[in-house]
Structure 1
Amino acid sequence: MNTTGSDPSIKQKLGAVLFADVVGYSRLMSENEMDTYNALKSLLSQLEATCSKYQGKIIEVRGDGILVLFDTATSAVEFSIELHRIAAQHNSDRLEHEQIKFRAGVHMGEVLLDERGIHGDNVNIAARLQEIAEPERVYVSAAVYDQIRNRLRYGYEFLGSKQLKNILSPVATYCVRTEVEGATMAATLRPEMQLEVLERPDIPSVAILPFASQGGDEDDSWVAEGLTDDIIMNLSKFRNLFIIARNSSFFFKTQSMAPQEAARRLNVRYIARGSVRRSSSRIRITAELIDANTERTIWGERFDRKLDDIFDILDEVTECIVAATAVMIESHEKQRMVQTVPSDLRAYGSVLQGQHHIFKYTRNDNRKAQHCYESALERDEGYARAAAALSRTLNIDWRYSWTEDPSSALDRALSLAQRAVELDPTDARGFGELGYVQLYRKEFDSAIESYKRALQLNPNDADMHSDYADALAHWGDNDTAIQHLQQAMRLNPYFPDQYLWHLGGAYYNLKRYDDVISCVNKMNNPTEGQRVLAASYAHKGELDMARQIADKHRAVHPNFSLSRWAKVQPDRLSDDTQHFVEGLKKAGF
C-alpha cells in the first residue's frame, strides 16, 4: 500500500472491488416497507459475517447493498457467488414477489483509500458493472477474468466490450456462472471475434433475429421466442439456404443495433425480424426481410389472426421469408418442412415454454423445461417434438449428473428418442437425441447413422454438426469431425466452449498437440479443457507445464478418477483411449 505524495492520509492500494445491490429495491419497499427492511437487515448482517472468511473488508453498507474490498480477484468472485447462494437460501421461504435478489459487479485495479472509504475510477467501474448485471449474476471485468480463469471452476461468458455510464473507455465484460457444465453449451462471444471477419456463404444466407415481444406478459416473451425458434428450425431444413444457428441469432436479443450491423457481424445477406403481440384470443405478428447489401426492406407483412390459427401463421411467415429470398424449393423438401401439429394447442404452448428454459442451460431451468415437455405429452401423447425435447433434457441430466440416478435418465432418454423417431421420422431432433444416447451406450455404428439421418433432415443445425463431430472423433474419423466442427462454427459464430472442446479432442486423436493447446486457450473456461491440455503438453515433452496444469485440475476437480473416466469414455478404438490415458499419466494424473 502506498501513500500519495500530496496527502499522506490518502493511500493507494491494489485490490478487487465488489459492488452488490438489491434488484427492485424501491418496489420491495413500496409494497412492504417494514418486512423488506427487516429481511434485508438480517441478510446483510449474515453477509457481513461471511465476508471475513474471504478476507474481504466491508467499506460501506447502504440501504440496499454493499461495497467490499478484497486483496485478490479470486476472493472477491468466490464471495460474490456465496452472496447469491446465501440470498437464495434466505429466499427459500419467501414468496416470489417478496424475494431479495442481488446483482453484483467486480473489478480489479488501484483504488484510493481514506477515512471515508475507497474512491476512484476502478470503484466506479465495479459499480457500473453491477448496474448492467442480470439478477443473481456476477459480472466481472477482463482484469478480474484474467486472474480467475485458470483458478476457479466456474463458467465464463464473454459479453463483449461494454460502454459503461460515465466511464471513458469500454470495459471487456464477463458473466460468471456457477454451473460450469451448462456454460460450456451457452452461446458466447470471444475476444478475438471482435476483429474477425467471417466468410460470406456462396448460397443465400439468412439470420432470423429474435422476434420482439410487445406485451408486458411473460407468456408473450416465450411465444415470441418460440415462433423465432420454429422459423429458424423450419428454414434450416433447406439445403440451398444458409441459416445462422439459434444460439447466435438469440445473442442479438439484448443488443440494440441496426439489422445491417447484425448482418455485418454475421456476414449474411438477409436479416429477418419481427414482433409479436398477443391478446386473450388473438395474435398479431409483424415480420420483415431486409437485404443487408442494399439496406432495403424487400418484404414486410402483418398477420392478425385468432390464436387458434398459430400453426397456419407459422407456416405462412416461414413460406413468405423463403419466397422473399427467391430460393427455388423443390416440392418434396417444401412438404418435409411442415411440422407434425399437435392435436392440442396447449401442448404446443407447453413446448414453447420449455424452449424458453432449456437454452438457459442451468439445472433449475432444465428441470422446468422437463415439466413443460411432460405436460405437453400428457395433453398429446403423439407429439413427437415434445418427446424429442424431453429426451434432450434427460440427456443433459445424464451428461452433467444433474439427477440422482444418471443411468435411469439415459435409459429414459433412449426410450423417448425412439418414440420421437417413430412418431415423426421427418424430425431431426429425435434422431439427434437418439445418436447421443447410442454413443454413450457405445453403440457406435448406430450413433453415426442416427446423426447422419438427423443432418440429412436438418443440414443447418450447428449443434447437431458439433455433436456428430464428437461421435465421429470417438468413432475414429477425426478429419471428418474437424470439417463438421468448422461448419458448426460458421453456422453458429457465437459458438459455445463445447465446440472447442470437441475440436480439441479430434486434434488430440490426430496427435496435433499444438492445435489442441490453441483450441483450449480459446475457451472462455479453460479449466474444463485442462485434461486434454495437460496430456498434450506431456506428449510434447513439456512435463513441467503438464504437471502445473494437472495440479490446477486437481484443485477444481478433486474427485477426478482416471480409471472411471477411461471406462466412461466412448471410444470405439481402444488405442484412442490408451493414447489419452498415457498422456494423463505422464502429466501426473
Structure 2
Amino acid sequence: MPDDKVKRRLTTVLCADVYGYSRLMEADEAGTLEALRRSRAAIARLVERHDGRIVNTWGDAVIAEFASVVEAVQSAIEIQQEISDQESAAPQANAMRFRIGINLGDVMVDGTNIYGDGVNIASRLQELADPGGVVISSSVYDQVHNKLSVGFDCLGQRPMKNIAPLTSYRVTLGGQAAGHASIPMEENRTPSESARAPRMGDRREPSSSTNAVSDWLGKLPRPVAVALTVSAFLIMINLFSGGHKIWFHWPVAVILFGAALRMVLGRRPEQDRR
C-alpha cells in the first residue's frame, strides 16, 4: 500500500472472540453455529446502538470500532450481559462465552478495514479476559475510569505475543468481572490470580470450625469457658515461642483446678437453699 494512500486515525477497537470455540464445535456443530449466529446478531445490534461499526468477522471473532471510548466499553458490557442471558439455559459446559478486549490507539485505514498495532493490542487483550469478561488497555482506562459506574482491577503488565507489555485492566460489575457471574472460576484462571490476596476492605465470613468452637464454648458455664480459653492461649504461646521446653501444664492445671473449685463452691449454696 503506497505511503500516499495510507490513512490513519485514532479509534477505539473492540475485539471479541469465543472462548473454547473448537471444543464447542467438536461437541455440537449445529448447536454451536446457531449460538454463534445468535450472539453475532446481538453484538451487531449493540455495537450499532453505541454508534460503532463492525469492521470484520472471521471464524468466531468480531472486530468493531467506535469513535467514543465510553460507548465502546458500555457496548462491551451490554454484549456480555445479553449473551450471558441468552446462554443461561444452556448446559454450563456448552454455553457460549465471549472474551472481549478494547484498545484506544492509532490504526491504518484501508477502505472499510483497519490495521496496525491498535488492532493487534485489542486482540491480545481479549486473550487476557475471562470467559464472559472484558479487559481494557491503560489508554482506555484513562478515558473511562471516572465516567462509568463500573470497577476496574489492574492486571499489571502482562506479556503478550509480539506486543510489548502494557498495563491492562479488568472491568468489574458489583465486585465481579463483567459477565462473569455464571462462569466457573477455575476456568481460564492462572495460579497467580487464584492465589492473589483479597483486596483491602473485603470481608471474609468466619470459617465453620471457628463458629462451632464459639458455639461450644457458649454452652459451657462461664468459669469453665474462661479457663479453657486462657489455657488454650497459654498452650499456643508455649508451642510457638519454644516447643522444646514444655511449661504450660503447670499454669493450665492451676487454672482448670480453680475453675472446677469455683463450680463446686458455687453449687453448694444452691443445694443448701433447696
Normalised-by-shorter TM-score class: 0.5 to 0.7
Distance in 1, Cα, partners of 2:25 & 2:157: 34
Query: 1:403-439 CA deviation, whole Å, 9 max, x = no partner?
Result: xxxxxxxxxxxxxx7x8733368xxxxxxxxxxxxxx
Contact kept, 8 Å, 2:16 with 2:101, in 1: the verdict is yes
Residue number among 150, 156, 174 corresponding to 2:152 in the alignment: 156
The amino acid of 1:6's aligned partner reads D
Query: 1:440-488 CA deviation, whole Å, 9 max, x = no partner?
Result: xxxxxxxxxxxxxxxx9xxxxxxxxxxxxxxxxxxxxxxxxxxxxxxxx
1:421 aligns with 2:197: no
Contact kept, 8 Å, 2:42 with 2:79, in 1: the verdict is no
Residue number among 170, 192, 199 corresponding to 2:165 in the alignment: 170
The amino acid of 1:133's aligned partner reads A
Quote the residue 2:85 is aligned against: 89
Quote the residue 2:192 is aligned against: 252
Distance in 2, Cα, partners of 1:163 & 1:142: 15
Distance in 2, Cα, partners of 1:162 & 1:101: 22
Quote the residue 1:103 is aligned against: 99
Distance in 2, Cα, partners of 1:16 & 1:155: 20
Residue number among 4, 7, 24 corresponding to 2:4 in the alignment: 7
Shift of 1:123: 0.7
Aligned to 2:156, what secondary structure does the other structure show? strand
Distance in 1, Cα, partners of 2:128 & 2:86: 24
Query: 1:389-410 CA deviation, whole Å, 9 max, x = no partner?
Result: xxxxxxxxxxxxxxxxxxxxxx
Residue number among 24, 39, 42 corresponding to 1:43 in the alignment: 39
Quote the residue 1:539 is aligned against: none
Shift of 1:133: 1.5
Quote the residue 1:74 is aligned against: 70
TM-score normalised to structure 2 length: 0.66
Highest RCO, 1 vs 2 (Cα 8 Å, sep ≥ 6): 2
1:386 aligns with 2:247: no
Q: 1:386 to 1:130 in 2, by over 3 A?
A: same
Quote the residue 1:147 is aligned against: 143
More helix, by proportion: 1
Q: How does 1:323-402 map to 2 (within 5 A)?
A: 385-386=207-208
Contact kept, 8 Å, 1:81 with 1:178, in 2: the verdict is no
Q: 1:387 to 1:41 in 2, by over 3 A?
A: same
Shift of 1:5: 8.9
Q: 1:386 to 1:144 in 2, by over 3 A?
A: same
1:59 aligns with 2:55: yes
Aligned to 1:170, what secondary structure does the other structure show? strand
The amino acid of 2:192's aligned partner reads F
Aligned to 1:92, what secondary structure does the other structure show? coil
The amino acid of 1:421's aligned partner reads S
The amino acid of 1:158's aligned partner reads C
Distance in 1, Cα, partners of 2:121 & 2:46: 24
Equivalent pairs counted in the alignment come to: 206
Query: Superposition RMSD on alpha carbons, in Å?
Result: 3.4
Distance in 2, Cα, partners of 1:96 & 1:135: 12
CA radius of gyration, larger in: 2
Shift of 1:116: 5.3
Distance in 2, Cα, partners of 1:254 & 1:11: 44
Shift of 1:115: 2.1
The amino acid of 2:167's aligned partner reads A
Query: 1:169-223 CA deviation, whole Å, 9 max, x = no partner?
Result: 211111111115x68xxxxxxxxxxxxxxxxxxxxxxxxxxxxxxxxxx9xx7xx
Contact kept, 8 Å, 1:141 with 1:173, in 2: the verdict is yes
Contact kept, 8 Å, 1:12 with 1:112, in 2: the verdict is yes
| Identical amino acids, percent of aligned pairs | 32
Shift of 1:254: 6.2
Quote the residue 1:138 is aligned against: 134
The amino acid of 2:132's aligned partner reads E
More strand, by proportion: 2
Distance in 1, Cα, partners of 2:170 & 2:122: 13
Contact kept, 8 Å, 2:150 with 2:174, in 1: the verdict is yes
The amino acid of 2:170's aligned partner reads C
Contact kept, 8 Å, 1:385 with 1:420, in 2: the verdict is no
Q: How does 1:92-241 map to 2 (within 5 A)?
A: 92-115=88-111, 117-167=113-163, 169-180=164-175
